[in-house]
């Protein structure tokens, strides 16, 4: 039995034509299309400008430097954030202050507030698996700069809060499996003119070798132009899978608020059985599934339930299922059946 692919890029012929046109124009390196993509992305999330780079870690390091964080200083980050942050912190000489998540997988603001006495210079507000907070006020009340990472939440809405509203700097990577993809690369944007200028200076030091190429940016421009339609379709599937989850013995990962509109980056549940058994069950019914947080910082701390009680369950028992616009009806039906019978 052929397995349903875990993810498939939402690419259409028009997307490929845009990349081909860039090649025909003989301008595949960083140039005008990179600038256009950056402007479009910043406008889409309500920011002014910033930088678009080939590397996600480079964007993280640039954000740290743009906030004036110096070697030896500390930054708070949740244990559900990807481990690549620790590498970026190492490059910048920054020390992580690890905090737990709340019940929806977002950084726990109460836990963060309890660590303010350690003088963190910023907080990385990583939003995993479509999640965004119901309100930005509590995040802002910490009184320190916020680096909001919307790599997995771009386009999500919770009440009046949209992905990108929390951050003094907003970061997103655009890898192959993203809601918006450039085939690789990342952006860091802001509405603060001083921060934007410092981001540009950081990028200038490595130009042209770290800038996002026009060939990638051309793909991103087309993807952004249809993002709302694709996110709407992804959200339909997310809600369908959520209905199936309610019939199962699993716990939904993330917000259950009726005002939450997921971008459909993915769909994850926390199983009560052994995760490997759940994955095998799905495989036997033709459905790919994976552990959700194998690349999270917290995989090193699975025995530290006392320190990270909310994050440990998703790390140890979180399972994700395919969710992308190109799923056929038969594939959707198969995924729904599997999710509804999980325990």
Domains located in the chain, CATH noted: 13-225 (3.40.640.10), 228-340 (3.90.1150.10)
- H-run or E-run covering 236: helix 227-246
pLDDT at 297 > cutoff 80:
yes
What is the number of other CB atoms lying within 10 angstroms of the CB of residue 215?
22
Sheet strands side by side (includes 251-252): 251-252, 267-270, 318-321, 290-291
Helix (H, G, I), strand (E, B) or coil at 139: helix
Mean local confidence (pLDDT), 184-210: 95
More confident position, 232 or 29: 232
Report how far residue 78's alpha carbon sits from residue 312's, in angstroms, rounded to the nearest whole number: 12
Helical H segments across 129-213, by residue range: 137-140, 193-204
**Residues 57-68 pLDDT 10s:** 999 999 999 999
235 Cβ neighbours under 8 A, 6+ residues apart: 261, 262, 263, 264
Q: Report residue 307: phi and psi, to 5°.
A: -90, -35
pLDDT at 173 > cutoff 80:
yes
CA atoms lying within 13 Å on the CB side of residue 134 = 11
pLDDT at 13 > cutoff 90:
no
Instruction: Provide the pLDDT for residue 343.
Output: 80
Mean local confidence (pLDDT), 48-63: 98
The answer to whether the CB of 102 falls within 8 A of the CB of 310 is: yes
pLDDT band per the 50, 70, 90 thresholds, residue 24: very low
Mean local confidence (pLDDT), 74-81: 98
**Residues 200-221 pLDDT 10s:** 999 999 888 899 998 899 889 9
**Residues 237-290 pLDDT 10s:** 999 999 999 999 999 999 999 999 999 999 999 999 899 999 999 999 999 999
The answer to whether the CB of 268 falls within 8 A of the CB of 250 is: no
More confident position, 229 or 26: 229
Report how far residue 70's alpha carbon sits from residue 283's, in angstroms, rounded to the nearest whole number: 48
C-alpha distance across the termini of the chain, in Å: 23
Of the candidates 22, 26, 24, which has an alpha carbon nearest to the alpha carbon of residue 36? 22
pLDDT at 139 > cutoff 90:
yes
Q: Report residue 80: phi and psi, to 5°.
A: -90, 0
Q: What residues does 88 pair with on adjacent strands? A: none
Helices (H) and strands (E) in the chain, counts: 12, 14
More confident position, 26 or 198: 198
Report how far residue 260's alpha carbon sits from residue 142's, in angstroms, rounded to the nearest whole number: 24
């Amino acid at each position: 039995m052929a397995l349903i692919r875990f993810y498939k890029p939402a690419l259409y012929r028009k997307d490929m034509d845009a990349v081909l046109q860039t090649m025909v124009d003989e301008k595949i390196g960083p140039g005008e299309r990179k600038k256009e993509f950056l402007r479009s992305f910043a406008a889409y999330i309500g920011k002014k400008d910033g930088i678009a780079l080939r590397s996600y870690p480079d964007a993280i390091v640039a954000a740290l430097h743009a906030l004036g964080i110096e070697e030896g200083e500390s930054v708070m980050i949740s244990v559900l954030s990807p481990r690549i942050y620790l590498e970026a912190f190492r490059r910048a000489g920054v020390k992580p202050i690890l905090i737990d998540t709340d019940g929806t997988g977002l950084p726990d603001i109460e836990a963060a507030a309890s660590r303010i006495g350690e003088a963190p210079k910023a907080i990385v507000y990583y939003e995993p698996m479509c999640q965004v907070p119901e309100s930005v006020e509590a995040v802002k009340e910490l009184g320190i700069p916020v680096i909001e990472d919307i790599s997995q939440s771009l386009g999500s809405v919770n009440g009046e809060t949209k992905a990108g509203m929390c951050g003094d700097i907003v970061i997103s990577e655009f890898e192959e499996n993203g809601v918006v993809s450039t085939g690789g690369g990342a952006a860091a944007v802001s509405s603060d003119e001083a921060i934007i200028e410092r981001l540009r200076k950081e990028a200038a030091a490595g130009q042209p070798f770290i800038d996002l190429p026009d060939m990638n940016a051309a793909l991103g421009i087309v993807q952004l132009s249809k993002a709302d339609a694709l996110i709407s379709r992804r959200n339909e599937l997310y809600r369908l899978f959520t209905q199936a989850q309610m019939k199962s013995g699993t716990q939904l990962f993330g917000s259950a608020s009726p005002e939450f509109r997921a971008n459909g980056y993915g769909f994850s549940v926390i199983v009560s059985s052994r995760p490997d058994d759940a994955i095998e069950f799905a495989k036997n019914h033709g459905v790919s599934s994976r552990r959700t947080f194998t690349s999270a910082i917290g995989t090193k701390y699975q025995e530290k339930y006392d320190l990270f009680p909310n994050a440990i369950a998703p790390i140890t028992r979180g399972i994700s299922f395919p969710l992308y616009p190109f799923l056929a009806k038969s594939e959707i039906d198969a995924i729904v059946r599997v999710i509804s019978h999980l325990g």
